[in-house]
Amino acid sequence: MKRVALLGMPNTGKSTLFNRMTGGAARVGNWPGITVDLLSGKILLGSDMVEIIDLPGIYDLHGFSDDEQVVRHFLHDNVPDLALVILNATQIERQMSLLLQLKQLNMNIVVLLNMVDEAKKYGITIDSKKMTEMLGIPIFLLSGKYGTGYFEALQAITKALRYPTPGMAEQLRSQLEQDEHIESEMARVMKSAVQVPAQLPENLSDKLDRVMLHPWLGLPIFFGIMYLLFQGIFLLGQPLQEGMGAALDWLRESALDPALAGAPAWLSGLLLDGVYNGVATVAAFVPIIILFFLFMAIVEDSGYLSRAAFLMDALMAKMGLDGRGFVMLLMGFGCNVPALMGTRVMRSRSLRLLTMLVIPFSLCSARLQVFVFITAALFSPQAAPVVLFSLYLFSFAAAIVTALLFRKNFQNSEPFVLELPPYRFPTLQQMLMRGWLEVRHFLQRATKFIIAGVVLVWLLTNLPPSAAPASPDTLAGMIGSFLDPVFAPLGINEQLTIALIFGFVAKEIVIGSLAVIYGLGGDALGSALGQQLDWVQAYSFMLFTLIYTPCLSAVATLRSESKSMRYTLFALGWSLALAWLVSFVFYQGARALGF
């Protein structure tokens, strides 16, 4: 099978092109460092099945960040049949050097000058035919966002794959002795094939940045935008969640209950009260998760996250972090795993370790399911969005406190450099693809962690057979009683304690576990929690869920990225201790004030 490697600097649209070519699998965003791992997809080009590999963005072959080392090692050990080099046409002058470095490696190359629609707005014109003649490399103009020039590029890729790759030099030229030659050739090509206005015209991005990056207004505007985002998710998502829950209840009553009416009690209990109740309760949140990622796709792809990183850099520097760390925290809103892997763009190991220590406090989409369910059950429609937004603020607070406490243990002096791409609005196709990828991710987790988790919870709440289901005499009851002295001071009862234990595997299991423990699902489960808990207990439980150990996948990623079991255990121990302390202070303080 032939192999095509996508190469280019960060924020050139590589992942957007990868998704267009393969139909998904890469995370698309409008800020540097979005590609955090080697992603691949297979497509048919001509008569050949071709593997497309999306490599992390690099600025040059001199780089020492983990991402740049990954690219160098890949090119050295896995010479591709074709290197598809993606350049940002609006920044052609500074991106040409990477192309010329890659050209020296004697690879089979096709170049795509992406974002030509934006270059045209800036008055930048590029003669791709003349550039092709001068460099001896096929060069095509492209708009990956809108698909302009896409089919011509595919034809060029198919044609280039007919010829064998010339083969690279035996070793990557780490010292790149021809730097002077690169500079002179770049100047020659730019002078002959590219026309850039002496002064770029002021555009919408410049006008917006006067407000969005204002020294005093910038941060209030950012938090206001995030608050409106969560308000919109809750207001639009709650009716959809209720509709999905009603449909799943109808399915059970009209089809599943009659179908299993003659089955043994233990089997129907396992399948209906265990698997179906647990999975259906979690599945009811799919519309909210889709909305969350559609909204976040707009924020990320618009280029606003880079501005948020710029605004927060001064504050983050006081905590031993930088603006990229803030971006990774926001990225963790979706999932902690890619955010942890995204720290590879940092060259300083100390900076990476400190950033990875705070990322698990990000309120990920799995925790969001838990919080939306509980806030809807115990708080009014007016208070629920405020409660949800307050949890995001606690998420940032936990990260800030952690960074301040441990910054002296992870000192670094790496400078902060970040591009500010122009504001863009993602296409409908990009937003829909993002939603679909998240639903697919949810379904994959449902078939692994969630089903296994709810089955195990059902067994713990129904064994031994002589005990009444979910009673103190069951295995779950015994575990809850054993841990009660630890969690009772936090206002967390035995049922919630069992759910927290399974939440260590995957936070999606928490609500499914409660559905199994209480033998109820959907609105019935919400009503039962509302009768058993007051708002202080509920909020204490949510605080603990927010801060305590991340899911098993995040822990495994933390271990692999840090390459230190000692560091991983330290991170887990600290998050557990902080979660207990914060919940304890809140619960006992609220009770002391008479709530």
DSSP string, 488-518: GGGT--HHHHHHHHHHTT-TTHHHHHHHHHH
Residue 176: what pLDDT?
40
pLDDT 10s digits, 129-164: 999 999 999 999 998 778 888 888 888 888 888 876
pTM: 0.75
Residue 241: what pLDDT?
82
Residue 360: what pLDDT?
95
Instruction: Provide the CATH number for the domain formed by 2-195 in this structure.
Output: 3.40.50.300
% of the chain with per-residue pLDDT over 70:
91
Judged by phi (left if over 0) then psi (alpha if -120 to 50, else beta), residue 24 lies in left
State how far the Cα of 9 lies from the Cα of 65, in Å rounded to an integer.
13
Residue 133: what pLDDT?
92
pLDDT: is 202 or 60 the higher one? 60
pLDDT: is 377 or 570 the higher one? 570
Residue 175: what pLDDT?
40
Residue 165: what pLDDT?
62
Each residue of 431-459: b (16+ CB within 10 Å) or e?
A: bebbbebbeeebeebbeebbbebbbbbbe
pLDDT: is 361 or 60 the higher one? 361
Q: Which of 54-68, 151-165, 349-363 has the lowest mean pLDDT?
A: 54-68
Residue 472: what pLDDT?
86
- Which residues lie closer than 8 Å to 474 by C-beta, 6 or more apart? 460, 461, 462, 463, 464, 467, 468
Interval 77-101 mean pLDDT = 89
pLDDT 10s digits, 511-533: 888 988 888 877 888 889 989 99
Interval 389-414 mean pLDDT = 91
Residue 57: what pLDDT?
85
Q: Which of 77-86, 103-112, 197-206, 320-329 has the lowest mean pLDDT?
A: 197-206
Residue with tokens 């609006």: 90
CA angle 333, 375, 329 (to 5 degrees): 15
Interval 236-243 mean pLDDT = 84
Q: Would you state the structure tokens that stand for residue 107, as one six-digit string?
A: 């690879």
In this predicted structure, the answer to whether residue 173 has a pLDDT above a threshold of 70 is no
- Quickly state the pLDDT bin for 172 (edges 50, 70, 90): very low
pLDDT 10s digits, 314-349: 888 889 998 888 888 887 887 888 788 878 778 788
pLDDT: is 386 or 182 the higher one? 386
Residue 167: what pLDDT?
53
In this predicted structure, the answer to whether residue 34 has a pLDDT above a threshold of 70 is no
Residue 431: what pLDDT?
75
Residue 359: what pLDDT?
95
% of the chain with per-residue pLDDT over 90:
28
State how far the Cα of 72 lies from the Cα of 197, in Å rounded to an integer.
35
Residue 416: what pLDDT?
67
Q: Which amino acid is at 459?
A: L
Residue 180: what pLDDT?
59
Runs of H (alpha helix) within 412-564: 428-445, 451-462, 475-487, 494-503, 509-518, 522-532, 535-547, 552-562
Residue 140: what pLDDT?
93
In this predicted structure, the answer to whether residue 174 has a pLDDT above a threshold of 50 is no
Q: Which of 201-205, 411-415, 555-559 has the lowest mean pLDDT?
A: 201-205
- Quickly state the pLDDT bin for 564 (edges 50, 70, 90): very high
Contact 382, 361 (CB under 8 A): no
In this predicted structure, the answer to whether residue 42 has a pLDDT above a threshold of 60 is yes
The winner for highest mean pLDDT among 238-247, 352-361, 557-566 is 352-361
Interval 291-305 mean pLDDT = 79
Mean pLDDT, the chain, as a whole number?
A: 84
Closest-CA residue to 57 (of 12, 16, 106, 105): 12
Domain borders along the chain are 2-195, 219-592
pLDDT: is 457 or 292 the higher one? 457
State how far the Cα of 309 lies from the Cα of 390, in Å rounded to an integer.
21
Secondary structure of residue 249 in the 3-state scheme:
helix
Residue 445: what pLDDT?
63
Q: Which of 160-169, 364-373, 417-426 has the lowest mean pLDDT?
A: 160-169
Q: Cα 287 to chain center, whole Å?
A: 18
